[in-house]
Structure 1
Amino acid sequence: MKKLTNIVRCSVSFLFILFYASSCKKDAVFPDDGRESYTVGFKFKEFEQILTPLQTRAAQRASANTRATTASTENVREGLIYYWSFNAETLLPDLYPTTGSSITYNGGSPPMGFSSGWRYEDYAAGSALSMTGLTELIIKMPLNNVRDVQTLAFDISSSGTGPKSFALWWTQDGTDYRILAEDNQFSNTNTPQSRNAFSYDLSGLSLDLTKPLYIKLIPKAGSRGTAGDYRETTGVTKVDNFRLYGAAQVSSGSSIRRLHYHIFDVETKTCVMAGATDINDDGLTDFTVSLPEGEYVASFAANISDATLLIPGEVAADSYYLANVFANHQAKIYGVLDTFAVSKDMQLDVILKRYYSEIKFEFTDSRDLSRVEKLVVKRQREPVFYAPFNPMMANPIQDMTEIVVHRHFDEGGKEFVFHQFLGGREVALPISYLVEAYDGEGILLRSFTVDSAIPNNVQLVFRGKLLDAAHLNAGFQVRLNETWDGSQIVEFE
């Protein structure tokens, strides 16, 4: 059998081991083949040290004057502040204002079952949380950075012998619960696992926003219609699209700080462990895990941005990929890919590297650019994805998004910057962008296309006139900076 190590180009010569956290899809199950297991610890280099932005001070000043259409000038997000789609089959929320949330059931254990879910707005149906013999479900939501709490909502269903009603309680100390809604009867009791949507107004609660909010769901038999008798120990309850509405401050412009991990067996190419965990404000802490003796290939991907990564769950190595939607243009994505052998207890270091390059436009117009109110950047090639174990994979990404930036140019900052996800590739990838400049009334002032080819982890600068060259046969200069103290310049029309 061809080994994965033969097709993986290891760009970082550090061995590491991945950890199991409560956010994993499931426990790794290893065959009882007599192999001895060992404890392996890994230590992260201080994660915040590698989050230094690529852009120069000038670009940082320009970035301060730039806001995407999805962001507010006060960095406050209104609407969904917590949301669990469960589509990645983990207990981590898709949206959250701060870290520290948790989901437990039946005395404090993390529920690890998932089944088919329901669509919510732009989120696919995907998966839902599924629990057999549910006696209580507790969702903890820290309210740090939350400005206001308005509404709680979720979808719920059950099997024919599952609960058809529930009571809902709340607290902020984790012990002294108060009733929120006593009797919540399902509207559809006759069809097993039919969707029932519930919503609750929380604006009247006296909440201390320095303390977490706990929501407890206790199932009840309820009016059963033609459903079977309630069986507390075998009935199945399904919860999906759990969400909290309000207003929350978004720190550092990134609402998502998450580390994804996959670990594959070298011989079988199967995934033996996969999941994700939040990155705390203090970075990543040290971890240990027990694995049987053997060889493994592992992938880390850290996402600091406002949108989730496009990444499969627990899949075979040849189906594994990473991608980022183009509109998520300020995403800072880091990763590492390497092989390691487990044959004794050990502690190893992990260093993540950038999985993106910086694209910068420097406009050299001598005249005022105050007419320009909006820039739109459209990708002209296929969406970028990174499949480290299958270079011949057909493109699995359908991404038609574009970058829309509202700018207020000044004399000292006629530029803007975005990040292009590339993964761990070392070979230059052709790129092409269509740039459109609009005035305040939505009238197109100019459009032009730029092209180049870049590997990962470089700075690419397009330099030229935005408006002065609108009716001239003039092009941009392209500067590629790979070493931070050297550059390469080429001309193009």
Structure 2
Amino acid sequence: MKKNVKFNFNIFSLVFIFLLAVASSCQKNKKISDELDENVFSVKFKIKDFESIVSPLQKANGTRKLVSSKASVNSKEETLFKWDFDLGNADPIIAFNPLPVIDYNNGKVDYGFTAGWPTTGKSISFRGVESILFKLPVQQIELLSNLSLDVNSSGTGPRALLIDYSTDKGSNFSKLSDTIHYPLDLTSTGISKLPISQSLNAIPVMGKEAVWIRIRLYSGKRPPGSIYNPTSSTFKLDNVLITGVVNDTALQNKLYYHIYNASGNELVKQGGISAAETFAVDLPLGTYYLSVLTKNSNSPIVFANSTNRNGFYISNSFMEKEAEIYAVRDTFEVKQSIERTLLLKRLYSEVKVEFTDIVDLSHIDSIRIQQKHPGFYYYPFSNSSNSQLDATFLKIEPNFTENNKSFFFNQFMGFHDTNKTIKYELTVYEKGSVIRSFELKSEVKNNMQVLFKGLLLEEINPGQGFIIRKNEKWDGNVDVDF
């Protein structure tokens, strides 16, 4: 009987100690939560001159119609996500929504980069890979259309793959493809690759926050003498392109913000929000750097390296001759709830070409314009530069009349304190044949208007050059007679 009493007492003691521990834990958790709430503050941002800057951007193609304007987004398939890996990282060069993630084997990101396709570029490489995940944020996306990519493996690597997807962050997967086998004659060296194209129409994307696309790797059908080594072999992929259709208001009505911790330079907040005069975020005590951008275009802003402040930059294709991009940077300290006023500035300049010919120019079919200067990049928080060329070109179908012998386009510039060289090669076509090629050149920076003015048909007055004028209605303006 004494043993039972002692045993019951010991049980009671243990239960009592456990309840004390739980109570103590609850008190500690409550205190931590209270302190967290006390040290998180609302930071409100107000866009200065919102009605004159951002509101016009919400109108389709702005208030001025440029040549060959695009169809509305809801009727056209767009590039949503694109990777080429040429900078040796896994950041996309196009991302409709930030921030898509690539990982493998349940969260690993220690991938490498090797020669891709073309071999002058890079591809992403995985060792001992079983599965690869593309984790896509899909807010405002109405349809995922297609996935295309190039793949290959080392001699002992996988030679078959299967593509499936998840809309619940990996809890369940549904099959997209049957098993895709490498051709037996596909070698593992040089320029050899297996192009893959997979429809994504089966993915129910509407109303979802994220879609995970998974590539699973298998031994597959192997050439004679080829032995699969799942632990040390490598698999690489390149030129990943995901297309789809987005909500017709998603692109032109958004502000994109990135907030970085000043002490560690890491990204702490980001988002794409409907354009409004004010928006707010909650932040704990600290000092922060902010980047805000807005873009009027039927294509998304290209964010790169956005997880680290010093490497973060954006670019924009020269083909987007109508794109209007505004941005602002800010530094602020959070000690209490505060309000910040932001003034967006142009990251582009307007280039106008006006011909002074007195003769009829309606027979001109088109004018092809190619940049002869390096592409421009915007680094909000560093002095970094990028010498990559943009090989795309504009095709202008001018429809010249007696009263209108001009056209214009927007040149993305980024922010610059000093003038930068812009140089273009213009090739003029009549009835499908080239009748003239010439170059135009000037020195400008962002937020300027440039006018090149001169004769299109040089045989009328050979040797006359274009006149350049710089318009001071913006920050500056350049006129060039030719």
Matched, 1:41 2:36: no
Q: Structure 1, residues 20-76: CA drift from partner, whole Å, max 9, x if none?
A: xxxxxxxxxxxxxxxx965452435369952636xxx99934x2x436xxx789996
Quote the Cα distance in structure 1 between the aligned partners of 2:457 and 2:420.
Answer: 29
Q: Equivalent residue for 2:111?
A: 115
Task: Give how far 1:340 is off.
Answer: 2.3
Q: Equivalent residue for 2:68?
A: 66
Aligned residues: 424
Quote the Cα distance in structure 2 between the aligned partners of 1:291 and 1:236.
Answer: 43
Quote the Cα distance in structure 2 between the aligned partners of 1:364 and 1:357.
Answer: 23
Q: Percent identity?
A: 18
Larger Rg: 2
* Two-structure CA RMSD over aligned residues (Å): 6.0
Cα contact 1:163–1:237 (8 A) shared by 2: yes
Matched, 1:437 2:437: no
Cα 1:43/1:438, change in 2 over 3 Å: same
Task: Give how far 1:492 is off.
Answer: 4.6
Quote the Cα distance in structure 2 between the aligned partners of 1:360 and 1:367.
Answer: 20
Extract unaligned runs of 5+ from structure 2.
Answer: 1-37
Matched, 1:447 2:445: no
Task: Give how far 1:396 is off.
Answer: 3.2
Q: Which amino acid aligns with 1:461?
A: L
- Which of 334, 339, 343 is equivalent to 2:335? 343
| SS of equivalent residue, structure 2 residue 54 | helix
Cα 1:85/1:112, change in 2 over 3 Å: farther
Matched, 1:271 2:262: no
Quote the Cα distance in structure 2 between the aligned partners of 1:449 and 1:337.
Answer: 32
Cα contact 2:166–2:212 (8 A) shared by 1: yes
- Which of 451, 457, 462 is equivalent to 1:467? 457
- Which of 379, 382, 397 is equivalent to 1:406? 397
Q: Equivalent residue for 2:281?
A: 288
Quote the Cα distance in structure 1 between the aligned partners of 2:63 and 2:407.
Answer: 7
Task: Give how far 1:358 is off.
Answer: 0.7
Task: Give how far 1:284 is off.
Answer: 9.5
> Superposition pairs for residues 292-311 of structure 1, below 5 Å?
292-294=285-287, 296-305=288-297, 306=299, 309=302
Cα contact 2:95–2:302 (8 A) shared by 1: no
Task: Give how far 1:447 is off.
Answer: 2.9
Cα contact 1:154–1:243 (8 A) shared by 2: yes
Cα 1:327/1:137, change in 2 over 3 Å: closer
| SS of equivalent residue, structure 1 residue 60 | coil
- Which of 83, 86, 108 is equivalent to 1:85? 83
Q: Which amino acid aligns with 2:283?
A: S
Cα contact 1:376–1:437 (8 A) shared by 2: yes
| SS of equivalent residue, structure 2 residue 111 | strand
Cα 1:368/1:104, change in 2 over 3 Å: same
Q: Which amino acid aligns with 2:326?
A: Y
Q: Structure 1, residues 220-263: CA drift from partner, whole Å, max 9, x if none?
A: 88779553689xxxx99987655456x85896998997847474
Higher helix fraction (1 or 2): 2
Q: Equivalent residue for 2:94?
A: 94
Using the size of structure 1 for normalisation, the TM-score is 0.60
Quote the Cα distance in structure 1 between the aligned partners of 2:53 and 2:374.
Answer: 33
Matched, 1:52 2:56: yes
Quote the Cα distance in structure 1 between the aligned partners of 2:258 and 2:128.
Answer: 25
Quote the Cα distance in structure 1 between the aligned partners of 2:149 and 2:456.
Answer: 48
Quote the Cα distance in structure 1 between the aligned partners of 2:197 and 2:437.
Answer: 49
Quote the Cα distance in structure 2 between the aligned partners of 1:216 and 1:330.
Answer: 33
Task: Give how far 1:423 is off.
Answer: 2.2
Quote the Cα distance in structure 2 between the aligned partners of 1:477 and 1:386.
Answer: 29
Q: Equivalent residue for 2:122?
A: 125
Task: Give how far 1:355 is off.
Answer: 1.0
Task: Give how far 1:115 is off.
Answer: 2.6
> Superposition pairs for residues 92-491 of structure 1, below 5 Å?
94=94, 113=109, 115-116=111-112, 119=116, 124-125=121-122, 127=124, 149=145, 152-154=147-149, 168-169=163-164, 179-181=175-177, 199=196, 202=199, 217=214, 226-227=228-229, 242-244=240-242, 259=256, 261=258, 263=260, 265=262, 271-273=265-267, 277=271, 279=272, 286-290=279-283, 292-294=285-287, 296-305=288-297, 306=299, 309=302, 312-313=305-306, 317=310, 323-379=315-371, 381=373, 383-385=375-377, 396-445=387-436, 447=438, 449-451=440-442, 453-467=443-457, 470-472=460-462, 474-483=464-473
Q: Structure 1, residues 368-426: CA drift from partner, whole Å, max 9, x if none?
A: 212212223344555545567666x6763334554432332234532211112332224
Extract unaligned runs of 5+ from structure 1.
Answer: 1-35
Q: Which amino acid aligns with 1:355?
A: L
Task: Give how far 1:313 is off.
Answer: 4.9
Cα 1:144/1:411, change in 2 over 3 Å: farther
Cα contact 1:264–1:272 (8 A) shared by 2: yes
| SS of equivalent residue, structure 1 residue 410 | coil
| SS of equivalent residue, structure 1 residue 271 | coil
